[in-house]
Amino acid sequence: MDEEVQEKGDLKHRIWAEWEKIWMVALPAVVSKLFAFGTLVVTQSFIGHISEVDLAGYALVQTLTVRFINGILLGMSSATETLCGQAFGAGQNHMMGIYLQRSWIIDLVTLTVLLPIFIFGTQIFKLVGEEESIAKSGGYISLWFIPFVYSYVFGLAIQMYLQAQLKNMIIAWLSAFQFAIHIPLSWFFVYKLNMGVAGAMIALSSSSWFLVISEFVYIFGGWCPHSWKGFTVAAFKDLLPVVKLSISSGVMLCLELWYYAILVLLAGYMADAKIAISAFSICLNIYAWEFMISLGFLVAACVRVANELGRGNAKAVKLSIKVLLGTSMTIGVFFFVLCLVLGKKLAYLFTDDERVADTISDLSLFLSFSVLLNGIYPVLSGVAIGAGMQSVVAIVNLVCFYVIGIPLGALLGFLTTLEVKGIWAGMIFGVLTQTVTLGYIMWRTDWDDQVKKASERLERFYLHSNENPERISNDS
């Protein structure tokens, strides 16, 4: 009996310890992502007070072009999270700086190849049928977004690198400071210098690069002495395996991030498209704010699983997954109830149009279930990233989202009287299918085997810290 009590006490202690480790990663990640999203919203607000056409152009670029690029770069940078997380767990700290530099190289080339999407923004928006005035405004704003998206190349990878070694509180503080300076900076450029849209975009790029430069100072200034050993040509070695992992990571996360954006596109073909698009956009804004919390748990899942796999502790991986799911699902249930209870009241925070508010009220049940599922599938995706299983999840996402969810939503939306609710119902079914499938895969996964695979992966990329004669700077 005493042994049983001792085991229960030991289990409670391990759960509490794991819960603390999860929040050590998740909380700064949530804070930084909320502020990053808030920065874009502030810019949208300033541009919205300039003109309706420019607001539509900005919304078009942010929703389609920037989301597209962000999805690719975020996904490809998550390969850094896998490798750095496992290296940190295995005590191969010096390899983390090399993985970071490899990510910069891959992401820089990728974004440069995709740059024509921004350069020919006007032509692309005209091609998809946008009004000429909105297409021109969107094309103009696309050019101003170029320096902003280049900050993603460095910033996203740095965040993965710092998170993997549990140093992401600095990201939260810097993100908060970035947001704090972004508001007066936007006011100064837009109103004081009377620069209009150009001023708002200069403020956005300036604050985003402030964050990246601050992170550079933190890394190069000696606050990561064990993981940053200076720039090295070793970063150009073994790029192909990292590229493969980056591509599978990119595909996996892109398929998730773009999924709900399809709602807005399909809504444009409804009978009352203006009301449908407005209602969907507001619902997606609410969804996006809550999803920032889910992304925090995705990060925590990735870091915790990668760290424990690197340490070779399969038992700790299993415990971490259970605690992560339990915590995230509890938060999901809270927001599920909140969306159901508030319903129409949420709509009036964003609009005074009674018809839009009524549509949002009708959609509140679907929004609630989407928020509820946010408490599960991002954690499972984070577990997959931590274990390096991105290619498997990419296939699951492709089938569940784009072969099942979107076609079913289109059928229910256009061939029944459900319309917008039918579209969303089909999309939710796709997410539910993905969640169940990933849950089954994780349940059936042999974590001892994953420990072996992580060890093999790290061994394949490993370079001894004293075997890098090519190092060219800051060797310490």
Does some domain include residue 129?
yes
Residues 371 and 302 grouped into a single domain: yes
Residue 50's pLDDT band (cuts 50, 70, 90) = confident
Across 342-354, b (16+ Cβ under 10 Å) vs e yields bbeebbeebbebe
Place of tokens 């390096």: 388
Residue 196 belongs to a domain: yes
270: left (phi over 0), alpha (psi -120 to 50) or beta: beta
What is the pLDDT at residue 53? Answer: 80
Least confident of 22-36, 272-286, 319-333, 387-401: 272-286
Mean pLDDT of 185-195: 94
With a pLDDT cut of 90, the percent of the chain lying above it is 39
Final residue belonging to a domain, choices 223, 257, 291: 257
Is the same domain home to 225 and 279? no
Contact 256, 280 (CB under 8 A): no
Let me know whether 183 and 313 are in one domain. Answer: no
Instruction: Determine the pLDDT at residue 3.
Output: 45
Closest CA to 387 of 301, 294, 319: 301
Average pLDDT over residues 147-173: 91
pLDDT class of 47 with cuts at 50, 70, 90:
confident
241 and 118 share a domain? Answer: yes
217 pLDDT band (50/70/90 cuts)?
very high
Same domain, 240 and 91: yes
Does 1 map to a domain?
no
pLDDT band at 304 (very low <50, low <70, confident <90, very high): very high
pLDDT of 324 strictly over 70: yes
Across 393-446, where does the E strand assignment appear? none
Residue 244, pLDDT above cutoff 50:
yes
Q: Which of 197, 223, 257 is at the close of a domain?
A: 257
The number of C-alpha atoms within 13 Å of 111 and in the hemisphere containing its C-beta is: 26
**Per-residue confidence (pLDDT) for residue 469, from 0 to 100:** 37
pLDDT digits (tens, 9 = 90+) for 265-296: 666 566 665 666 667 767 777 787 788 888 88
Cβ proximity of 457 and 412 under 8 Å: no
How many distinct structural domains can be found in the chain? 2
Q: Answer yes or no: is pLDDT of 252 > 70.
A: yes
pLDDT grade, residue 132 (50/70/90)? confident
Tell me the residue type at 149: V
The reply to whether 235 and 275 lie within a common domain is no
Q: Specify whether 354 is located in the same domain as 451.
A: yes
d(CA 380, CA 300): 11
174 and 280 both lie in a single domain: no
Angstrom distance (rounded) from CA 62 to CA 292: 16
Residue 470 lies in a domain: no
**pLDDT of 313 strictly over 70:** yes
- pLDDT for the residue 46: 87
pLDDT higher at 21 or 348 = 21
Contacts of 153 (CB under 8 A, 6+ apart): 73, 104, 107, 108, 111
Residue 403 lies in a domain: yes
Maximum mean pLDDT: which of 38-52, 97-111, 242-256:
97-111
218-248: b (≥16 Cβ within 10 Å) or e: bbeeeebeebbbebbebbeeeeeebbebbbb
Mean pLDDT (the chain, rounded)? 84
> What pLDDT, on a 0 to 100 scale, did the predictor assign at position 7?
47
Integer angstrom CA distances of residue 440 from 166, 212, 229, 385: 29, 39, 41, 16
pLDDT attached to residue 268: 58
Does 1 have pLDDT greater than 80? no
Q: What tens digit of pLDDT does each residue of 339-379 get?
A: 888 866 777 766 667 777 787 788 888 889 988 998 898 89
Domain region containing 25: 19-257
- Tell me what pLDDT residue 476 has: 36
Three-class secondary structure assignment of 5-68 = HHHHHHHHHHHHHHHHHHHHHHHHHHHHHHHHHHHHHHHHHHHHCCCHHHHHHHHHHHHHHHHH
Q: For residues 398 and 405, what is the distance between their CA atoms, to the nearest angstrom?
A: 10
Q: Which of 68, 101, 96 lies closest to 81 in space, CA to CA? A: 96
Q: How confident is the model at residue 473 (pLDDT cuts 50, 70, 90)?
A: very low
Q: 400 and 328 in one domain? A: yes
Which of the listed residues 257, 272, 304 is the one where a domain comes to its end? 257
Q: What integer is the mean pLDDT of 143-157?
A: 94
Residues 252 and 332 in one domain: no
Q: How confident is the model at residue 203 (pLDDT cuts 50, 70, 90)?
A: very high
pLDDT at 15 over 70: yes
414 domain-assigned: yes
Whether residue 340 sits in one domain with residue 215: no
Instruction: Supply the DSSP symbol for 233.
Output: G
What is the pLDDT, as a whole number, of residue 67?
80
Answer whether residue 236 shows pLDDT above 80.
yes
Q: Give domain status of residue 281, yes or no.
A: yes
Residue 265, domain member (yes or no):
yes
pLDDT for 413 equals: 84
Q: What is the mean pLDDT of residues 3-21?
A: 74
Per-residue confidence (pLDDT) for residue 472, from 0 to 100: 37
One domain for residues 280 and 250? no
